[in-house]
Structure 1
Amino acid sequence: MRILTRILALALTSTATVLPAAAGSLDDPFATAARTPAAPSPQQFGRSGAVPCADRLPDAPLGPVEAVDLALCRHPQTREVWATARAQAAQLGVARAAWLPTVDASLAATRYQYAEDPYTRRSASLTLSWLLYDFGQRAAGVEAAEQLLAAASATQDATVQSLFLAALQAYYNAQATRAAVGAAGLAERSAEAALAAAELRYQVGVGTPADRLQAQTARSQATLNRIRADGEAQKALGVLANAIGLPAGRPLALQDAPPPPAPGAFAQDVAALIAEAQARRPDLKAAEAQLRAAEAAVDAARAAGLPRLSLAAGPSWVDTGPATTQGGQFGLTLSVPLFSGFDTTYRVRSAAAQVDVRAAQRDRVQNQVALDVWQAWQNLNTATQSLQTTADLVASAEQSERVALGRYKAGVGSVLDLLAAQSALAAARVQRIQAELDWNVNRAALAQSVGALDYSLLQGAAEGKP
C-alpha cells in the first residue's frame, strides 16, 4: 500500500507541473484560450483610439491609415493565421489531456440461442485508466506543443506585419500611379502648346512642315503615354483593393498625397538596427520556437521506448438470466518494451535530424534578417538622397522648358530644342514621383525588416519625419 501511495503521489506531482495553475471553463478546462494570441486588429499595432473593424469602406477618401485598418480587419490571410494559432492552442490542450485519467463505460447484450435453454447475457463495466509514469514522454509532448504555439503566435505576427507592409506598398503605388497620370497630362498639354506654336509659325511662314510634323508626333506620343499611365493607375487600384481584402474591381477613392517630406540626411546605425531586428523579428522567434519543439520531440521519441506504469480500476456487472455477478478490478500494469524492431532507434534518429533541420532554418532566417535590414537601410538611404536630387532636377527642367518654349515662339530656338526640353521635364517629373514612392515604401520596409512596423510610422510620415 505504501508503494501504491508513493506512485500516486508521484503521478499527481508530475501532473501538477504541466497543468495550468488556473482552471478554465467547462469547454476549455486547460485555459488554452488565454494562451491564444489575439485576433489581428488595428489596436494590436498601436492604432490610437478604439477603432472597430469596419464592414464597409469609409465614406471619405481612403488614406494610408484606413487602408491598413481594412487590411488587418478584412484580409483573408489574417483570419487564416489566427485560425492556425487557435488550432495549435487546442493541440496544447490535447497534450495536457494525456496527464489526466480516462474513464470508459461499456454496455453489452448478447443473445445465445440454444434449443433447450436460450438466454441473454448482459454486461456493464466502468473502467478508469491512468498512465502514472512514462519517463517524460508526456512532458516532452507538452513542451513541444508549447513551443509550437509560440511559433504559431510569432508566425501570426510576422504574417500580419507583411500584410501591413503590402497594404502600404499597394496604397503608395496607387497614389504614385495617379500622380503619374497627372504628370502625363501636364506633358500632353505641354506637347499641345508646342504643336500650337509650330502651327502658328507655319501659318505665318516662318516655320517648316518638318517642325509641325515633329510637334504632332510628340503630341501623339504624349497622349499615348497618358493613356498608358491611366491604365497603370487603374491596375494599381485593383492591387490595392486586393491588398485590403476587397474585390479587385471595387471602386476606390484615395486621399491626395501629402507634400513630399523635406529632404534630409538619413543617418542611423545599421549595426544597431540589425541587432534590434534579431531581437524583435517574429519570424526569427518562430524559427527559435520550432527548434525548441524539435528538441522536445527527441525527448518524446526516446521516452517512447522506455517502460510505462499504468493504473486501471472500475466496477463490472454481468447478468446471464438466472445468475447475476458483480465485481470490479484494481491493478497496476508495468509495460516494458523489450524489442520493437528498432522502431524507437529510428524515431530518435529522425527526431534528432529534425533538430538539425530546424537549427539550420533558424540560422538561415537569422542571416536573412541581417540581409533584409542591410538592404532596406541602403534603399532608404538612397531614396532619402534622391528626394533632394529629383527636386533640383524638376526645378531645372521646368526652367529649361520655359526658356525653350519662349525662344521657339520668339523664332530664335528650334523645335528640337523645345521637344527635348519637354521630354526632359516629363522624365524629371516621373523620377520625382518614383523617388517619393521609393521613400515611402522603403521607410515602411525598413521598419518591417526590424520588426517594428506599426501605426507610428504613418504618423511620422504625416509629419514629414524620415
Structure 2
Amino acid sequence: MRPPERMAALAAALALGSCATSALDMAPDRPDKPWTPATTAAGEPIAGAPGVSGGGAGYVLPPNPALRALPASPEIDSAKTYTLPQLIDLAESTNPATRVAWNDARRSALAAGVAESAYLPRVSASVVGGYQATNGSDSTAGVNLAGAGSSHGAISVVSVEWLLFDFGERAAVVEAAKQASFIADVAFTAAHQQVIYEVSLAYYRCQGARARFATAKQSLANALAVEAAAEERFRRGVGTVVESDQTRQATAQARLALVQAEGGARDAYVAVLSAVGLSPLTTIRIADTGRRTFSPSMLKPVEGVIAAAIARRPDIQSAYAAQKAAVAKVRATEAEFLPKVFTSATGSYNPGSLDVTALPGLGAASSTVNINNNRLGAAILAGVTVPVYDGGTREAALKQAEADADSAGAKFDQIRNDAVRQIVVADNALRTGLAAVSAASALVSASQTTFDAALAAYRNGVGSITDATIAETQLLQAKLAYADSTNAVLTAAATLALATGALGGAPG
C-alpha cells in the first residue's frame, strides 16, 4: 500500500473510533454541576442530544409537557357505596399487577410453544442478485495472455433442515418450558391473591381508622359534657376555677385527638384507592362494616389447616414446578453429550451466469451450498453429528444444571417450612385477636358504666373532677382498644387465608 493510501486508511480508522467516544457529549460534563436536558420548542426533552451543564435551574428537571396528563380513571358510580367484595372486583380489573402477571403467563406459554417448535423442520428461502467481474493476465513460455469477463444474474434457493433424533434433549427442554409456563400461571393466581389481600387489609384499616374517628368524636362529646358540668358547678358556686381549667384542657386534648383521627381516616381512604389501583384523586364511597361479631368456629385445628395449605399454596406449587424444571434441564444437558441425527435438502435455480459455491446466511441461518451456473440444482443430505471435544464446556454446563437442581430442591424444602411457620403465626394472631376482642368488649362496657357514674356523681356534687376525667380517658382507651382488636382479627383472618392459599375462593 502506498503512503497516501496508508494515511487515508489511518484517518478513516481514527474517525470511526471517535464515533463511540463522542457519545459522551450526551452525559453531564461534571459530577458536581447541575445538568439540564436539551428540549424541543414544546419543552419535551430530546433523548441523545447534548444537555447543558451548570445551568441556573439547579438540580431540578424541566417539566415534560407530555407527562402532565394524569391517566384516566375507571368509571366510578358516585351514587354507589362499594363493599369489600365490590372493591376487590374493581381492583382485579384496574390494579396493574394483575395485568403484568397475565402478560407474564402469556409470554411463558409462548416460550413453551417456541420450545415445541424445535421438533419441526426449518424451511428458508433466499433470493440473491449479483454481478461478477474478472480481469487478469497469464504468462506462459514468454507469451502474455490477457482476459476480462463479467457475469450477472439472480439465484433463488429453498433449503430445509430437520433434526430427527437427539436422545431426548428437545423433550427435556420442552418439559422445562412447560414447567416455567405453569409457574407463570401460578404466579398469575398469586398476584390476584395478593391484590385481594392488600385491598382487604386497606379496607380493614380504613374501617379501623373510621372507628377511631367516631370514637374521637364521642370522646369530644364526653369532654364537652364534663366541661359543661364543671361550668354549671362553678356558676352555682360549688365548683372551682381549677376544675373548669382542667375540663377545658381535656376538651382541647379531645379536639386534637379528633383532628389526628380525621387525618388518619383520610390517609386510610387514600390507601384503599391505592390498593384498588385508582388515582388518589378519585372520589368513591366505601361501605362501613358496622359492628362485627366473631364466632369461635373461625378457629380450626392448625394441623389440618397446614395439611391443606401445603398442597394449595401458590409458592409451594411454583417451587415444586421449578424443581421439576431443573431436573428436566439436567436431562437436556446430559443429551448434549450424545449424537444428533439430521437431514437437510437444498433446491436452487440460477437463470444467469453467476458462478458461486454457496449463498451467505443471515444471522443464525446456515449457508446454502450446491450453487453453480447451471439453471437447476438440488441436494438431499443426511448425517450424524457426534460431539468429541469442547474443552469441558458440556461437563461444566452439566455440573451447573445439577447444582441448580439441588438448589431447587433445597428451596422447595425451605419454602414449605416457611409456609408452615407463616400459617402457625397467622393462626396464633387470629386466636390472640379473638381473645382481645372479647376482653376489649367487656372493658368498653365496664368503662362506659364507670364514666356515666362518675359524671353523674360529679354533677350531683358527690364526685370529683379527677374521677370524671380519669373515667373519660379510660373509656376512650377502651373504645380504641376495641377498634384496634377488631381490625387485628380481620387482618389476621385475611393473613391466615393468604397463608393457607385459600384467599380469593369463589363465594359459596
Q: Give the TM-score normalised by structure 2.
A: 0.77
The answer on 1:412 being equivalent to 2:470 is no
CA contact (8 A) 1:265 1:385 kept: no
Partner of 2:348: 316
Partner of 1:422: 472
Partner of 1:336: 386
Equivalent residue in structure 2 for 1:272, among 301, 304, 315: 304
Equivalent residue in structure 2 for 1:378, among 428, 432, 437: 428
Equivalent residue in structure 1 for 2:83, among 63, 87, 100: 63
CA contact (8 A) 1:266 1:384 kept: no
Equivalent residue in structure 1 for 2:105, among 85, 97, 103: 85
Deviation digits for residues 51-102 of structure 1, max 9, x if unmatched? Answer: xxx9422431111111111111110000011100000000001100000001
Could you say if the C-alpha distance between residues 263 and 420 of structure 1 is closer, same or farther in structure 2, counting changes exceeding 3 Å? farther
Alignment of 1:439-450 (within 5 A): 439-450=489-500
Q: Which has the larger radius of gyration?
A: 2
The answer on 1:391 being equivalent to 2:441 is yes
Partners in 1 of 2:416 and 2:296 — Cα distance? 31
Alignment of 1:150-299 (within 5 A): 150-262=182-294, 264=296, 266-299=298-331
Alignment of 1:37-186 (within 5 A): 55-58=74-77, 59-114=79-134, 116-186=148-218
CA contact (8 A) 1:390 1:431 kept: yes
Structure 2: segments with no counterpart, 5+ residues: 1-72, 136-147, 355-372
Partner of 1:365: 415
Partners in 1 of 2:346 and 2:476 — Cα distance? 89
CA contact (8 A) 2:349 2:376 kept: yes
Q: Name the structure where helix makes up a greater proportion of residues.
A: 1
Q: CA deviation at 1:455?
A: 5.4
Partners in 2 of 1:377 and 1:262 — Cα distance? 15
CA contact (8 A) 1:263 1:385 kept: no
Q: CA deviation at 1:456?
A: 5.8
CA contact (8 A) 1:387 1:436 kept: yes
Deviation digits for residues 251-273 of structure 1, max 9, x if unmatched? Answer: 23111223311454654110000
Q: CA deviation at 1:333?
A: 2.1
Could you say if the C-alpha distance between residues 331 and 264 of structure 1 is closer, same or farther in structure 2, counting changes exceeding 3 Å? closer
Range 257-266 or range 306-315, more displaced: 257-266
Partner of 1:436: 486
Letter in 2 for 1:256: D
Find the residue that maps to 2:119 and give its secondary structure: coil
Could you say if the C-alpha distance between residues 291 and 455 of structure 1 is closer, same or farther in structure 2, counting changes exceeding 3 Å? closer
Q: Give the TM-score normalised by structure 1.
A: 0.84
Find the residue that maps to 1:131 and give its secondary structure: strand
Count of matched residue pairs: 405
Structure 1: segments with no counterpart, 5+ residues: 1-53, 460-466
Letter in 1 for 2:384: L
CA contact (8 A) 2:294 2:434 kept: no
Deviation digits for residues 342-366 of structure 1, max 9, x if unmatched? Answer: 1101111111111122112111110
Structure with the bigger RCO (C-alpha within 8 Å, sep 6+) is: 1
CA root-mean-square deviation:
1.8
